[in-house]
Amino acid sequence: MPPWLVLLGVLALAVNLRAALAGYPPLLQTARAELGVTAGAAGLVQAGAVLMMSLGSFTASPLAARLGRERLLGCSVALIALGSLLRAVATLPALVGGSVLVGFGIGTAGVLLTGVVKEYLPERAGAVSGAYVVSMMVGATVSSAVAVPLAVALGGWSFSLAVWAVPAVLALGVWVPVAARIGRSGPSPDAPASVPGPETAGSRARPWQDPFARRVACYLAGSSGIFYGWLTWLAPLYESYGWSPQRAGLLLSVWSIAQIPAALVMPAVAERRRRWRFWASLTVLSGTAGTLGTLLLPGATTIAPWVWAVLIGIGVGAGFPLGLAVIAWRTPDAARSAAVSGFALGIGYLAAGLGPLVMGLLIDLTGGFPAAVVLLLASALLQAGAIWRIGDRPVTGTPTTGTPATGTPATGTPPAR
């Protein structure tokens, strides 16, 4: 099985893991006005999608055991295409239903994709992880930038949302022959054989009983809440200040672009310097500074909104992979790492799903955005508290929270956000 062929399939799938969600926020105010719904109802669309991502991440492994990982990956991308097409109907039930399908497909595919990389590209796991995270972010950036122009060109916001069925179908066309060849050839000859090892006390423990797992869950809940809160409401916030939908969509694209270098650089520096707490704190400070800027000085100068967007982008872009990295560094084996990350990501996605909804309700109740932005500051405070409790990476460890005595971090491929 040529590694480049697997890589092509992985990148084609990764493009679709955010694009369909990122295309909605620049059109939110337009859809809300046409459908005559409240901000809370509009926020429910994104909240429902993210909550289904949580469900998809929890159920991906059991479903893959029954259907097969490669086949289920294809089904997940097909769900993204189907949900996008359903959103072509300009009604609230179709918008919510389509978004729910998109969210479940994304959550399931994001978990399964990591297994494909670990099994078929083991010696290139780090590089491939960076490549597919960047591919995912590029899809989100392009989607938010072209959402409004597409709506104008196609004659409606619903048609703009439906366009994202096209890259999903194309990805499916790339993945089906790759999955067929994988099924015939089996794992890469370079892939290490799976050898059962002794089960540690940390592997047997339930993750919610582990203080470290609970702290990481709080960290990812804060990080994911900030990410999806701004993904949903950054563009509408500046539209409320009089910006055009096109300009607000461009601001969201700048926010997305700022995440790419942060996601690639900061986790690597934190690993090299052995100072996870410092670099994780730096990301929270960056995101908090940008959030305070939008709250207190949203348009102090012409360039100010763009600066705030970049600062927030750096914070959320580096915050998520740093959370995944500390799980890999602190867990003693692959089984424990999967248990902790599954628990923490599930909690994180639940927070991410409820965040946009609560923000929408606060906007309705108060008639403005300040209270909703304060909720994001509270999420940053939760994340900062978790960073302080997690602390810097230890040199030696315990069965549940330790690292090897050599201090070498565990290797692994982080799942998509």
Tell whether the torsion through CA atoms of 385, 387, 390 and 392 is positive or negative.
Answer: negative
For 201-227, write each residue's pLDDT tens digit.
444 457 678 888 899 899 999 998 999
Alpha-helical runs (H) found in 155-275: 157-162, 165-185, 201-204, 211-240, 245-273
CA dihedral 210, 216, 220, 222 (to 10 degrees): 100
What pLDDT does 325 receive? Answer: 74
Beta-carbon-side half-sphere exposure of residue 400 (alpha carbons within 13 Å):
14
For 108-137, write each residue's pLDDT tens digit.
887 777 667 767 776 655 456 667 777 888
**Section 347-362 average pLDDT:** 84
Helices first, then strands: H and E counts in the chain: 16, 0
Closest CA to 351 of 219, 216, 220, 225: 225
User: Is-above-0.75 flag for pTM?
Assistant: no
What pLDDT does 65 receive? Answer: 76
**Section 293-311 average pLDDT:** 87
Q: CB under 8 Å to 93, separation ≥6 — which residues?
A: none
Residue with tokens 């040199």: 395
How far is Cα 328 from Cα 324, in angstroms, rounded to an integer? 7
Band of residue 272 on the pLDDT scale cut at 50, 70, 90: confident
How far is Cα 277 from Cα 348, in angstroms, rounded to an integer? 19
Tokens, residue 169: 């179908």
For 397-409, write each residue's pLDDT tens digit.
443 444 333 333 4
Lowest mean pLDDT among 60-69, 81-90, 172-181, 214-223: 60-69
Tokens, residue 361: 């309700």
For 311-328, write each residue's pLDDT tens digit.
999 999 888 878 877 876
Backbone angles phi and psi of 320, in degrees to 5 = -65, -55
Q: CB under 8 Å to 138, separation ≥6 — which residues?
A: 15, 260
What pLDDT does 333 receive? Answer: 60
Q: What angle do CA 400, 401, 403 make, to 5 degrees?
A: 115
Tokens, residue 400: 């549940």
What pLDDT does 307 receive? Answer: 94
* Mean confidence (pLDDT) of the chain: 80
Alpha carbon distances (Å) from 308 to 100, 318, 324: 30, 16, 25
Whether the CB-CB separation of 373 and 293 falls below 8 Å is answered with: no
Amino acid at 366: T
Q: CB under 8 Å to 369, separation ≥6 — which residues?
A: 233, 237, 240, 363
